[in-house]
Amino acid sequence: QRKIRAGYNLPPGPPKLPIIGNMHNLRSEHPHRRLAALAKTYGPIFHLKLSELNVIVVTSPALAAEVTRTHDLNFASRPQFLGTKVIFYDGGYIVFAPYGKLWTQLRRIVTVELFSHKRVKNFVLMMEEEGHSMVEKIKNMAINGSPVNITNLLLSIANTTVSRAAFGKDCAQNERLFTAVKKTFKYMSGFDLPDLYPSLTVLADISGMRRKLERVRRELDGTLNEIFEEHMERAKRKDKDANYIVHDVLDDEDLVDVLLRLKTSGELEDFITMDNIKAVILDLILGGTETTSAIMEWAMTDLVRHPEIMRKAQEEVRKALNGKRKIEEKDISNLPYLNMIIKETLRMRPPAPFLVPRHSLETVKLGGYTVPAGSRVIIDAWAIMRDNTCWDDADSFKPERFEGVDMADVRDSFIPFGGGRRVCPGINFGMRSMENVLANLLYHFDWKLPGGKRPEEVDVEEAFGLSLVRKNDLVLVATPYKYI
């Protein structure tokens, strides 16, 4: 560290304490708010020492663009955490993968096979089906007078949507897998002791962290093995049965089918193992579940807090549907205001406030300062999207601000999905599924708070884990809409 300081012009930052560096500066329930406050003192790029690690934080659109565009390749890698190494088959292969051949191959496969327009179109039919069954569930609760736990409902539908895309319909192991995945969420903050002192490998054992992680990994691996075996069996039956008919696209291949087909037909590079394939599936579940459910939950929170915005959104969807009983994909494109609501929620409550950290491969200059090779680089998307110099009245929920905005013009200041070659590949999939679910909630029901609470009494307490979520469950009362 002394060597780094002597030779380099590191960005400014708060004073460091011996051994722990700046860890005390982040001790807060809300690290995203702490970092934004530090930016006010130290400027748009600052340096933190978290135990052994050099952490560079950037909080301006221009510097974020330098990371994701000007120096894209240099920052295209990820730091490694103990959790990702143990659980994700030695390193994770997409979200947390270091930059390299394996990541490039697997990301390409996922982009082409899961997120292509054609596939997302097929998945949309599945999303429609899930949307309808959610509506029926809520109608039953409304008839019985039970309030709806929106938090659980949305997490469950987000999980079903991603896992149906990955494993197909009626996967018996889904519940078990999701329970294990949820356990992994809490081991992945990157701020755990073994991650802050990576050179002290013994810490992973003393703290008991490795043991806990290995237990979860065994659970996940066993469940994934069962799922893969069932898929292989089904593929064999399909091959043997010349009369096997694919009845509709929902019956078609899911992602596990696709990956297994590519593997057995030799279309995948030899170095891609079954463990890599299993890790890809976990990556997608991890990347796609809590993010989408968090945004939908915050959107509902802000809608009940702003009844006039809720009313406007409901008028839009009810006018567009004109008495129809079921929402279809083609209806969604007639809901521009709903799309603005989702964008505004992504701006104000990004599920990944710091995106996913980057790792600097080489020493480079950023904003006139030196970023040493091996630094962890955090793009503070939360601070950028709450910056009053980028967004007028940035702390207020105003979906109208996106009216007529060409998104290319705000590409550096609207970054909930990140940018550059590590940008989120699930944008299309995520946006479609969120629009579908929210349109259903707004079309079929009127919503109010239980116990006669007023809109301004809705709590907006945040909890910071793998994603920025509500601290307390959102519970609302639904009244079914009387169709025209």
Query: What is the amino acid identity at position 396?
Result: S
Please pick, from the candidates 58, 162, 224, 348, the single residue that binds ligand HEM as defined by CB under 6 A. 162
Give yes or no for residue 402 binding ligand HEM (CB under 6 A).
no
Instruction: Please provide the distance, in angstroms rounded to a whole number, between the alpha carbons at the two ends of the chain.
Output: 70
Please pick, from the candidates 56, 57, 94, 335, the single residue that binds ligand HEM as defined by CB under 6 A. 94
CA distances from 284 to 101, 150, 318, 352 (A): 19, 23, 33, 15
Between 217 and 343, whose beta carbon lies closer to ligand HEM?
343
Which segment (216-224, 349-357, 360-368, 455-463) binds ligand HEM by CB under 6 A? 349-357
Q: Using an 8 Å Cβ cutoff, are 123 and 250 in contact?
A: no
Please pick, from the candidates 21, 44, 131, 430, the single residue that binds ligand HEM as defined by CB under 6 A. 430
Please state the separation of Cα 290 from the chain's center in Å.
Answer: 6
Structure tokens at 460: 């907006």
Between 123 and 228, whose beta carbon lies closer to ligand HEM?
123
- Identify residues 95-114 at the interface with ligand HEM (CB under 6 A): 95, 107
What is the C-alpha to C-alpha distance for residues 245 and 4, in angstroms, rounded to an integer? Answer: 65
Coil, strand or helix at 251: helix
Please pick, from the candidates 134, 300, 424, 468, the single residue that binds ligand HEM as defined by CB under 6 A. 424
Q: Using an 8 Å Cβ cutoff, are 45 and 10 in contact?
A: no
Between 96 and 228, whose beta carbon lies closer to ligand HEM?
96
What is the C-alpha to C-alpha distance for residues 289 and 286, in angstroms, rounded to an integer? Answer: 6
- What are the residues facing 476 on neighbouring strands? 148
Give yes or no for residue 352 binding ligand HEM (CB under 6 A).
yes
Coil, strand or helix at 478: strand
Query: What is the amino acid identity at position 27?
Result: R
Give yes or no for residue 160 binding ligand HEM (CB under 6 A).
no
Between 202 and 427, whose beta carbon lies closer to ligand HEM?
427
Query: What is the amino acid identity at position 311?
Result: R
What are 85-89's contacts with CB under 8 Å, separation 24+? 86/210, 86/213, 86/214, 86/217, 87/184, 87/187, 87/213, 87/216, 87/217, 87/220, 87/282, 88/279, 88/282, 88/283, 89/275, 89/276, 89/278, 89/279
Q: Least distance (Å) from ligand HEM to the CB of residue 242? A: 34
Between 54 and 467, whose beta carbon lies closer to ligand HEM?
467
Between 119 and 401, whose beta carbon lies closer to ligand HEM?
119
Total binding residues toward ligand HEM, as defined by CB under 6 A: 26
x/- track of binding to ligand HEM for residues 244-283 (CB under 6 A): ---------------------------------------x
Between 13 and 425, whose beta carbon lies closer to ligand HEM?
425
Residues of the shown chain interacting with ligand HEM in the complex, contacts defined by CB under 6 A: 94-95, 107, 162, 283-284, 287-288, 291-292, 295, 351-352, 355-356, 416-419, 422-426, 429-430
